[in-house]
Amino acid sequence: MAFPENRLRRLRRTETLRSLVRETRLTPENFVYPLFVCPGKGIRKEVRSMPGVFNLSVDEAVKEVRETRKLGVLSVILFGLPESKDEVATGAWADDGIVQQAARAIKSEVRDVIVMGDVCLCEYMSHGHCGIVATAPQSLGAAAAAPPVTADYEILNDPSLELLARTSVSLARSGVDIIAPSDMMDGRVGAIRAALDKAGYENTPILSYAAKFASGFYGPFREAADSTPHFGDRRSYQMDPANMREAMREIALDIEEGADMIMVKPALPYLDVIAAARERFDLPLAAYQVSGEFAMIEAAARNNWIDRDRVMMESLVSIRRAGASIILTYFAKDAARLLA
């Protein structure tokens, strides 16, 4: 039927009617709250470019998880700032690493919360890259002890897999519920799955950052995690933002290697990738609303250019509408309060 018989505004008249026919819904259980954990005690240092986001000591991280749990946010993901860094990312896989300490404390003090562990080496490497680095003219079969600041370098894929697998087992041993590799090395899901199974953690799931793009939206995160590369960039291993079909290949390969869940990162600039992944794959699908997305909304709101809460919720609904059932977001607590 045509107008005037067909009037779509009939179901928009009141909030009760709009709620009744709403197609896309958010709940706090959809959210995963990222936490940056650092050494020390009683530390709660705000990240300059991310208002309301903090570097937290383990005791403060536990307090933060208690608060998120009360708000109905049942999942957190941990990123670590180690006391020292080296060329083999020792702080990532050491059993007394900062994330391992935080995981044990959280799991012992807060019930019914899911702790995810980000598996990447950039925060722990002295050079800030996500894998072992070799520099020319050295053979690519061995890593440089101290890579110079040069454009002539290579991120070694296969030697890095051993460190990623070792890190994953260490995190599982500390109580981490879900392993989330974000490094974008080829074959890392298979290597991690094999290592977890061998160590007796065959029931620990893997949430793969399957389509992680080489994005300009990561800047504030690199400040929060102290993970900016000292030379070069990550475009030789993170994805070209122009490539949709390649993203589908990356996801398919990770599923073949044993991923239990998949992720697209960033979220808002890649809603089409999220939608395509949801249409093509049946696994649980996550999206990461990254630091730059968060920072832009916060900055615009502080300049009174936008309604912060309204834009925050609209952005989260758009990610959910595109097909992501799990959203990693720094807005998790504030969104949960509004949903309550």
The whole-angstrom separation of Cα 226 and Cα 222 is 5
3-class DSSP state of 50:
strand
The whole-angstrom separation of Cα 176 and Cα 1 is 56
Residue 223, both tokens? 């400040």
Closest CA to 261 of 100, 32, 78, 36: 32
Beta bridge pairs of residue 78: 35, 117
For residue 45, the tally of other CB atoms under 10 A from its CB is: 15
Catalytic residue among 85, 107, 212, 333: 212
Active site residue 265: yes
Contact indicator for 318, 243 with CB cutoff of 8 Å: no
Closest CA to 135 of 124, 145, 121: 145
Catalytic residue among 45, 107, 198, 265: 265
Active site residue 107: no
Q: Is 322 exposed, middle or buried (0-12, 13-18, 19+ CB in 10 A)?
A: buried
Contact indicator for 244, 236 with CB cutoff of 8 Å: no
Catalytic residue numbers?
A: 212, 265
